[in-house]
Amino acid sequence: MESGKVLLVGAGPGDVRLITVKGLEAIMQAEVILYDRLANPKLLEFAPADCELIYCGKLPDRHTLRQENINDLLVQKALEGKVVVRLKGGDPGVFGRVGEEAAALALYQIPFEIVPGISSGIAAPLYAGIPVTHREHAESFAVVTAHDKSIEGKPMLDWEGLVRGVDTIAFYMGVANLPFICENLIAHGKPADTPVILIQWGTFGRQRTLQGTLSDISKKVLEAKFSNPSIILVGEVISLREKISWFEKMPLFGRQILLARTSEGASGLAKGLMEQGADVIEFPKWKKTILPVEVGNVTNYDKILFTSPESVGEFFQAVIEKGIDIRKIKADFYGGSSKSINALKERGFMASLIEDMPKEGSLLVVGDDRKYEVENADFLVTSKKELDQQFLPIFQRMLEEAEVNTMVFPSGASVNVFIEGLKKCGIDVFYLLKDVQVVCMGQHTKEQVERVGLITAGMPVSPTRKALVEYLIQCPIV
């Protein structure tokens, strides 16, 4: 069998929008992805539905896969003729061990490419309002590993060279060795009052910063219980932060939002929330199969309710294939969410939300499942959706590393499927959301949420993206 190909890809520092075009293209063609802990898991949603996902994440106290095993897997999967992506946080050439992986592939004459990514040592400071170089403050910049292969894990560095020759220093993953770093920089001539800042989860909406000097930052870190993943930045250029800090001033910065999802495609709502500075975790992740449907009697109904935007396209495709004149459909159209309404508008149809649907008249519910709680209705199931099992452990890891403070239900149909998805992960919805603001988009959604026993914080004035953002800005995080 002809060997496949391996792409060693930098995922960037965390914000999914910071991946390169070439990196995203690699993910979209992958048959196997080996991904690290610091590569944002949301990037995996761009992979093909049948792509095999292998977690290689490492923590200081444990390794899911050791580097030798990762090298072997890359070789094995490529020799099976597959397109393999090795997805690494930041840039693969900056403490990413890409040289070792590339050497293993070269040994077996396996074709490979290395796709650079934005390094965390540059991106995290910028998201904290700090350029690593500046004509008045810093003309040189260095990235330094804060732990190495020495017996005690203390970095064996040219401390004198760093102090004398570098204005701004970025130490990677060095919180445990911070006292050692500060002591050596001071001992080799760096002033004790040199500014230091730690940036944790840089470029995420959960980004945290802690500022001090070489003389006091270690104590502050202990008091604040600061931990990795963090970039430690040392240098006078940190003084610019007060003037040009921008990310932390975004309207939804600090919001860590869990968004219930009913569709398998990209979410415009999630994108809009992230553009305002929020972290967004979407759940569940779906896989869909289009079903053959019989639409011969669709002209007989007074009302047609579409439970998802995808069901709109699937319905009209079936109608056209059946040769039915759309003008003969006399029903009024309704949508379970504003996204469904917009999908109908794009096809030239005016529609109303389910809240405005009268009880009188015959009703056809068009959608991807039968869980929509509507009385006295016929159902037309246009597709079958099932949970993507590969994403359940990914979701659990995302929850472990986040501190969710906001829950958004965009539609009534999202409530039950969200709860059922949590059960598959062994997570109790009431425990998960006990200290979380639960926000509903629309009165019908609010009723569905309260029906299952959850307490709601409220809802925006209208079930739109803009209204939701305005509502979250006005309501403080609990």
CATH value at residue 100: 3.40.1010.10
b/e for 100-111, b at 16 or more Cβ within 10 A? ebbebbeeeebe
Q: What is the pLDDT of residues 70-117, one digit of tens each?
A: 999 999 999 999 999 999 999 999 999 999 999 999 999 999 999 999
Q: Which of 209-218, 258-267, 311-320 has the lowest mean pLDDT?
A: 258-267
User: What does the pLDDT read at residue 375?
Assistant: 76
pLDDT band at 476 (very low <50, low <70, confident <90, very high): confident
Domain boundary among 213, 245, 277: 245
pTM: 0.85
Structure tokens at 436: 């979380």
Residue 75 lies in a domain: yes
Domain boundary among 345, 366, 385: 385
Residue 119 to residues 89, 163, 172, 311, Cα–Cα distance (Å)? 8, 22, 11, 41
Looking at the structure, do residues 294 and 343 belong to the same domain, yes or no?
yes
Domain boundary among 331, 363, 385: 385
Residue 251 lies in a domain: no
For residue 126, give its domain range: 122-245
User: What does the pLDDT read at residue 114?
Assistant: 98
User: What does the pLDDT read at residue 149?
Assistant: 62
Looking at the structure, do residues 134 and 239 belong to the same domain, yes or no?
yes
Residue 339 lies in a domain: yes
CATH value at residue 317: 3.40.50.10090
Residue 439 lies in a domain: yes
Q: Which residue has the tokens 């603001």?
A: 437
Residue 153 lies in a domain: yes
User: What does the pLDDT read at residue 369?
Assistant: 57
Residue 235 has pLDDT above 60, yes or no: yes
User: What does the pLDDT read at residue 312?
Assistant: 95
pLDDT band at 57 (very low <50, low <70, confident <90, very high): confident
Among this protein's residues, is 36 annotated catalytic? Answer: yes
Q: Report the distance separating Cα 388 and Cα 34, nearest Å.
A: 17
Looking at the structure, do residues 76 and 196 belong to the same domain, yes or no?
no
The answer to whether residues 19 and 11 touch, using CB atoms and an 8 Å cutoff, is yes
User: What does the pLDDT read at residue 378?
Assistant: 92
Residue in 249, 251, 372 with CA at minimum distance from that of residue 304: 372
pLDDT band at 151 (very low <50, low <70, confident <90, very high): low
Tell me the helices (H) and strands (E) count for the chain, helix number first: 16, 23
Looking at the structure, do residues 281 and 292 belong to the same domain, yes or no?
no
Residue 327 lies in a domain: yes
Q: Report the distance separating Cα 416 and Cα 447, nearest Å.
A: 12
pLDDT band at 477 (very low <50, low <70, confident <90, very high): confident
Residue 473 to residues 128, 191, 255, 477, Cα–Cα distance (Å)? 21, 42, 10, 9
Structure tokens at 383: 């597709």
Structure tokens at 122: 């540059």
Return mean pLDDT, the chain: 92
Looking at the structure, do residues 278 and 412 belong to the same domain, yes or no?
yes
Choosing from 22, 58, 154, 345, the catalytic residue is 58
Domain count for the chain: 4
Looking at the structure, do residues 455 and 354 belong to the same domain, yes or no?
no
The answer to whether residues 103 and 74 touch, using CB atoms and an 8 Å cutoff, is no
Residue 412 lies in a domain: yes
Looking at the structure, do residues 131 and 200 belong to the same domain, yes or no?
yes
Looking at the structure, do residues 150 and 232 belong to the same domain, yes or no?
yes
Structure tokens at 184: 């050596």
Looking at the structure, do residues 104 and 43 belong to the same domain, yes or no?
yes
Residue 367 DSSP code: E
For residue 432, the tally of other CB atoms under 10 A from its CB is 16
Among this protein's residues, is 5 annotated catalytic? Answer: no
pLDDT band at 265 (very low <50, low <70, confident <90, very high): confident
Looking at the structure, do residues 126 and 235 belong to the same domain, yes or no?
yes
Choosing from 173, 274, 407, 441, the catalytic residue is 173
Among this protein's residues, is 220 annotated catalytic? Answer: no
Residue 445 lies in a domain: yes
Is 32 in a helix, a strand, or coil? Answer: strand
Q: What is the pLDDT of residues 319-361, one digit of tens each?
A: 999 999 999 999 999 998 888 999 999 999 999 999 899 999 9
Residue 61 has pLDDT above 60, yes or no: no
Looking at the structure, do residues 273 and 417 belong to the same domain, yes or no?
yes
Looking at the structure, do residues 271 and 418 belong to the same domain, yes or no?
yes
Averaged pLDDT, 233-250 = 96
